[in-house]
Amino acid sequence: MLSRECRNGGRTVSSSNRIAVLVLVAPLLILSLLFSVVLLGDVAPTGGGTAGAAGQAVAISGVPSEWAADVVQAGNRCPQDGITAQVIAAQLDQESSWDPSATSGAGAQGLSQFMPDTWETYGVDGDGDGTADPFNGHDAIASQANYMCTLAASMREALTNGVDGDLVDLALAAYNAGPGAVLNHHGVPPYSETQHYVTTIKEAMPTYTVTHASASASDAQQSADDLVDTSPVDAGAFAPEMMSQPDPTPGAHGTARVTPRMGALINDVMTNYSQIVNDALYCWDAHTYNPTSDHPKGRACDIPFYGCSANPDRSADPLTGLAAGNAAANWMVANASTYGVHYVIWDGRIWYASTGKWEPYDGAGGLYNPSDCTGGHYDHIHVSVF
């Protein structure tokens, strides 16, 4: 929001510059507003508890209890663009330190520090009491999600038109400095306040732990003898996502990140199959030897089950052997439409969402040896998401 550019000690923008910025930004914002109406729909009143489909956030730790349900709901609005509950929580702490009565010298108001003109456009009634009030925390958090999702949608469009950077970084920078500043600088503006704002929020995100709704593993446990075909899954149902979450696996490499869709799936895999949670489980990896790999895109994980014939005893292990791997692979493909599973490779076979069928694995067109224990994925399951 352009008026935020002169609050909290930020850089002021002259009237002539604001007019120029508005002329530049208006078409993009109009497009993003139309997108947000379709994407976000009506705002549901908040409640004390949160239930969700598998993969959705249902709880968050580290947040004041009176706002936890609101933050969870806000994080489920557009997680495909990386605006998760962790982003909302860390942003609230940075904006107001969770004080619903907070104000700034520039006139920003409430938990989410909306300027009045921006509130006029993006403020919503979050608790269903008939009034949208920036000093009502429920309304403020719902409105923050509304605005952040709109900014993320417009920044995603901007990334195709000369703007560089991480989608979440750009949305946060736009919230702080205004979308015009991001577009003018083709990325996060070089303002010390804005750069500190983005960095502080991104560093604080891991301090909030989100629990996701899980699909039951019981259906797959009945299909451990062999791999089972499913119905095809429509790839068009899943919008592209940015790598916006830390890789949650024990084998994560440093600052590795994954997409929200991949994070939701692997967290539930670790919940349902805790016996494979060890250092051999990882998602992000450079995979320099495979230029088409989903690992460096944050959309793939390798899960350490073992079905190699070279070690019959290990393959027969009821918790981590062949049958257990079959069960896990079947669970993932059975829930492919929930998590957005693109393909799964296991035990010399590959399942494609487009067909719902298990087929012989050719080693990625000969890049790997499909008869090898690792090359044929007999010692781990590979799963990729859209």
Which residues are catalytic, by number?
95
What are 270's two structure tokens?
Answer: 């670790």
Q: Exposure string (b/e) for 288-319, b if CB count within 10 Å is 16 or more?
A: eeeeebbbbbbbbbbbbbbbbeeeeeebebee
What are 309's two structure tokens?
Answer: 């014939």
Distance between CA atoms of residues 78 and 146, nearest Å: 9
Distance between CA atoms of residues 213 and 31, nearest Å: 33
- CB-CB contact of 129 with 182 (8 Å): no
- CB-CB contact of 246 with 256 (8 Å): yes
Eight-state DSSP code of residue 102: -
What are 48's two structure tokens?
Answer: 């004390």
- Is the alpha carbon torsion for 341, 235, 263, 59 positive or negative? negative
Distance between CA atoms of residues 334 and 338, nearest Å: 9
Burial of 3 (0-12, 13-18, 19+ CB in 10 A): middle
Distance between CA atoms of residues 357 and 311, nearest Å: 28
